[in-house]
A and B are shown apart, each in its own frame.
Chain A
Amino acid sequence: MQNGLAIEFRDASFGLPGSPEMVRGLTLAIPRGEMLILLGRSGSGKTTSLKLINRLLTPTGGEVRVENRATTEWDEIKLRRGIGYVIQEAGLFPHFTIERNIALVPKIEGWDGDKIRARVTELMGLVGLSAEVAKRYPRALSGGQRQRVGVARALAADPPILLMDEPFAALDPITRAELQKEFLQLQQRLRKTVVFVTHDFREALLLADRIALMDSGKLVALHTPKEFLESNNQFVRAYREAFSNDFVADLKAQRRKEVV
Chain B
Amino acid sequence: MNFWHFMVHNRRQVLDLTGEHLWLVGASIFLAVLVGIPLGILVTRVPRLNKVVLGSANIIQTIPSLALFGFLLPAPWIGERADRLAILALMLYALLPLIRNTYTGIRGVDPAVVEAGRGMGMTDRQLLFQVELPLALGVILAGIRVATVLCVGLATIAAAIGAGGLGEFIFRGLSMVNNDVILAGAVPAALLAILADWSLGWLERRLSPQ
Contact = CB atoms under 8 A, between A and B. Distances in A.
* A and B co-occur in one complex: yes
A108 B122 contact: yes
B112 A108 contact: no
A90 interface: yes
Contacts of A89: 110, 112
Contact of A78 (B121, B134, B210): B121
A141 interface: no
Contacts of B122: 104, 108
Contacts of A83: 119, 121
A54 B119 contact: yes
Contact of B120 (A94, A104, A137, A139): A104
**Interface residues of A, dominant DSSP:** mixed
Contacts of B131: 93
B121 A91 contact: no
A93 B117 contact: yes
B210 A80 contact: no
A139 B113 CA distance: 13
Contact of B121 (A81, A87, A93, A137): A81
Interface string B112-132: 111111111111001000110
A77 interface: yes
A80 B116 contact: no
Given A105-B120, A108-B122, A91 B115 contact: yes
Interface string A19-59: 00000000000000000000000000000000000101000
A238 to B, nearest CB: 31
Of B110, B113, B210, chain A has the most CB atoms within 10 Å of the CB of B113
B89 interface: no
Contacts of A92: 113, 116
Nearest to A81: B121
Contacts of B114: 91
A123 B135 CA distance: 26
Contacts of B130: 93
10 contacts: A56-B118, A80-B118, A80-B120, A85-B120, A91-B115, A91-B117, A94-B110, A94-B113, A104-B122, A108-B121
Given A77-B121, A94-B135, A95-B210, 10 more contacts: A56-B118, A56-B119, A80-B118, A85-B120, A91-B114, A92-B116, A93-B135, A94-B210, A105-B121, A137-B210
Interface of A: 54, 56, 77-85, 87-95, 104-105, 108, 137, 139, 150, 153-154, 163
Interface of B: 110, 112-123, 126, 130-131, 134-135, 209-210
